[in-house]
Amino acid sequence: MGSYGDGPDLAAKITGMLLEMDNMKLILLLESPASLAAKVEEAVQVLKLSNQTTNASSQESLHNNLLSAQVSVN
């Protein structure tokens, strides 16, 4: 497994995702380092995609708020 720049926050989210899995599937993952690494990488990609979607939505919301503020001022 690699090191990811988001540190403890990312680790906590991935741990939570793993703990939500079916217990038998989780046990199988823990018995196979390669499978566990693949599942963690999959979780990282899902979180990155989620963050990109959230950031884009936040930026759009900020842009819309700025536009409405400009309309109010004018």
Superfamily of chain region 7-73: c-terminal domain of poly(a) binding protein (1.10.1900.10)
pLDDT surpassing 70 at residue 44 = yes
Q: pLDDT for 20-29, tens place per residue?
A: 999 999 999 9
Q: Name the phi and psi angles at 3, rounded to 5.
A: -105, 135
Q: Name the phi and psi angles at 47, rounded to 5.
A: -65, -40
Give the residue from 45, 15, 44 showing the smallest Cα distance to 30: 15
Using CA atoms of 54, 2, 13, 36 in order, give the dihedral in degrees to the nearest 10. Answer: 120
**How many C-beta neighbours within 10 Å does residue 4 have?**
15
Of residues 20 and 1, more confidently modeled: 20
pTM value is 0.62
Residue with tokens 């690494």: 37
Confidence of residue 73 (pLDDT cuts 50, 70, 90): very low
| For residues 4-15, average pLDDT | 76
